[in-house]
Amino acid sequence: MQSHLALLLCALALTGAAQAQTVVLSGILGGKALLVVDGGPPRSVAVGQSHQGVKVIGIQAGQAMVEIGGARQTLRLGEGPVSAPSAQSETGDQRRIVLHAGSNGHFRALGQINGRAVTFLVDTGASVVSVSAAEADRIGLNYRAGQPVQMQTANGSTTGWLVKLHSVRLGSMDIFDVDAIVSAAPMPYVLLGNSYLTRFQMTRTNDQLVLERRY
C-alpha cells in the first residue's frame, strides 16, 4: 500500500512539473516588476529577486526581463501570459518533436545550447540559428573566436560572429554541429533558424508544429 501511495505521489509531482508556468507583467512600480504567476495575486519583485521560480533580471520602460527555469524571457505591459513550455518528444519516437504555438501564433520552447538552458523562437526566415551577444555571454559561448562578419540591422551596420554550436537540444533530441551567428543586437529569444530546422521535415497543423528528423 505504501509503495502504491509513493508511486501515486511521484506521478502527481511529475504532472505538476510538466505544466508550463505562465507569467504576466501587470505593472512596474519604481524599480519593481508587478508579476502575476500562474493566475495568482500580483507580487512586486525587485531586480535580482525571485517569486515562485521567476527571477527579475532587469526593468526598463514598459518591459521586464525575467528568468524562468534558467531561460530568459521579456515581459511587456499589456501583453498576455508568457510561458516557456519545453518541447515534447512523443513517447517511443525520439526522432519527432511537437511544438505548440503561443497566443501570438509563434512557436517558442525551452531548450539547450551546449548544455545551457535557452528559450528558442522558431524562425523559418532565418538562415541560421541567431543568438544575441548578451545571451552568448550568459551561456559561455566563445563566439569571439568565430569568424567576424558584417551585418545590416535597422540601426545600421554591426559586427557579428559565425560560430559552430556543438549541440542544440529540443525535447530529448540533440542535433550536433549547428551553424549559428552571434549578433550584438539585443534579442529576447534565440532564433531557431534553418541551420537547425533543415535537419527536420516540418509539418504544421493549426497551432501544432511537428518536427521529424531527416538525418
State how far the Cα of 175 lies from the Cα of 194, in Å rounded to an integer.
13
Torsion sign over Cα 131, 134, 138, 143: positive
Provide the pLDDT for residue 106: 86
CATH code for position 129: 2.40.70.10
Instruction: State whether 62 and 107 are in the same domain.
Output: no
Q: Is residue 14 part of a domain?
A: no
CATH code for position 64: 2.30.30
Domain count, the chain: 2
Instruction: State whether 107 and 193 are in the same domain.
Output: yes
pLDDT per position as a tens digit, 20-43:
467 888 888 878 888 888 777 888
Strands (E), 108-197: 108-113, 116-122, 129-132, 147-153, 156-170, 173-183, 190-192
147 contacts: CB under 8 Å, gap ≥ 6: 161, 162, 163
Q: Is 133 helix (H, G, I), strand (E, B) or coil?
A: helix
- What residues make up the domain containing 180? 88-213
Instruction: State whether 207 and 138 are in the same domain.
Output: yes
Q: In this structure, which amino acid lies at residue 71? A: A
Instruction: State whether 123 and 104 are in the same domain.
Output: yes
Torsion sign over Cα 67, 69, 72, 75: negative
State how far the Cα of 197 lies from the Cα of 140, in Å rounded to an integer.
23
Assign 186 a pLDDT band (cuts: 50, 70, 90): confident
More confident residue, 56 or 62: 56
Provide the pLDDT for residue 76: 81
Last residue of a domain, one of 62, 81, 100: 81
The grid coordinates listed for 202 are: 516540418
Q: Evaluate if pTM is beyond 0.75.
A: no
pLDDT exceeds 50 at position 92: no
Instruction: State whether 186 and 119 are in the same domain.
Output: yes
Q: In this structure, which amino acid lies at residue 2? A: Q
Instruction: State whether 36 and 140 are in the same domain.
Output: no
Short-list 68, 57, 58, CA closest to 23: 68
Rg (CA), the chain: 19
